[in-house]
């Protein structure tokens, strides 16, 4: 069967995958909700064994974001002091978009591992879909995302779901550079 996709599709995918970067700072420009909805929809096209579709996405509004920032401040104050917490509070307050990604738990350890893998694929889809519109992202698994208070604020039962990450999105204020090892370092061939 000949490919249903054009050579141009391959070129564009390579460009999107290679140029996506974890973004550390965003402008205050709001992101069109239709872009967010389309990225969330594309996220759900990730592979998932047994068709469990284990991902859950919680799109956080200003009230919840402020509460998560306050919880994070409490955690940082206890660990590193008020000044460090205030720096983080100011930094986080400028992030325009927040999506909490969680994974449905399974009583079967192997299924749980496979479902978490599927959720990670969904996050990659989400980030690439955003980036195809010029919207940058950062996947965070900071301590707050594993705090029971976070689950309550985000609205999930930690016995039923586990955090995959907090995905921040917005227009990048700057795009960091990154490199990867050559594939000869990481690819083995066997006859
Ligand atoms: C599971 C996971 C968790 C991550 N958590 C964090 C985090 O908490 N803080 C952070 O700065 N970056 C986090 N990152 C982003 C990585 O630091 C980033 O992907 C790495 O530096 C490579 O940069 P790139 O995404 O621009 O290629 C996380 C990435 C993954 C896959």
The predicted model gives 89-98 an average pLDDT of 97
Task: Give the percent of the chain with pLDDT over 90.
Answer: 98
pLDDT at 110: 98
pLDDT score recorded for residue 170: 98
Query: Do residues 71 and 149 make contact, with C-beta atoms less than 8 angstroms apart?
Result: yes
For the chain, give the mean pLDDT.
Answer: 97
Over residues 39-57, mean pLDDT: 98
In this structure, which residue's CA is closest to atom 30 in ligand 1?
Answer: 139
Nearest CA to ligand 1 atom 5: 140
Ligand 1 pocket, mutate which of 21, 22, 127 (most atoms under 8 A from CB): 22
Q: What is the pLDDT of residue 99?
A: 98
The answer to whether the beta carbons of residues 161 and 102 sit under 8 Å apart is: yes
Query: Are the beta carbons of 105 and 161 closer than 8 angstroms?
Result: yes
What pLDDT does residue 147 have?
Answer: 96
Give residue 189 CA to ligand 1 midpoint distance, Å: 28
Q: What is the pTM of this model?
A: 0.97
Residue whose CA is at the smallest distance from ligand 1 atom 17: 22
pLDDT of the residue at 5: 93
Based on the number of CB atoms within 10 Å of its own CB, is 38 exposed (0-12), middle (13-18) or buried (19 or more)?
A: middle
Q: State the Cα torsion 67-72-74-80 to the nearest 10°.
A: -160
Q: Which of 95, 115, 93 is nearest to 106 (CA)?
A: 115
**pLDDT tens-digit map of 132-178:** 999 999 999 999 999 999 999 999 999 999 999 999 999 999 999 99
Q: What is the pLDDT of residues 1-24, one digit of tens each?
A: 788 999 999 999 999 999 999 999
Question: For residue 173, what pLDDT is reported?
Answer: 97
pLDDT of residue 1: 76
Domains and CATH numbers, the chain: 29-173 (3.40.109.10)
Instruction: Give the contacts of 145 (CB within 8 A, at least 6 positions apart).
Output: 100, 163, 165, 166
């Amino acid at each position: 069967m000949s490919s249903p996709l054009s050579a141009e599709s391959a070129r564009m995918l390579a460009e999107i995958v290679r140029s996506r970067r974890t973004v550390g700072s965003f402008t205050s420009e709001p992101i069109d909700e239709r872009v967010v909805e389309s990225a969330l929809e594309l996220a759900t096209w990730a592979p998932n064994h047994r068709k469990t579709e284990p991902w859950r996405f919680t799109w956080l509004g200003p009230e919840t974001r402020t509460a998560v920032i306050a919880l994070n401040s409490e955690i940082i104050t206890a660990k590193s002091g008020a000044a460090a917490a205030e720096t983080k509070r100011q930094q986080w307050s400028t992030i325009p978009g927040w999506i909490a990604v969680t994974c449905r738990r399974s009583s079967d350890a192997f299924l749980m591992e496979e479902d978490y893998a599927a959720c990670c694929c969904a996050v990659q889809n989400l980030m690439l879909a955003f980036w195809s519109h010029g919207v940058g992202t950062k996947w965070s698994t900071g301590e707050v995302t594993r705090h029971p208070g976070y689950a309550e604020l985000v609205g999930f039962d930690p016995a039923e779901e586990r955090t995959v990450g907090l995905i921040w999105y917005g227009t990048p204020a700057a795009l960091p550079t990154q490199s990867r090892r050559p594939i000869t370092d990481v690819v083995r061939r066997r006859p």
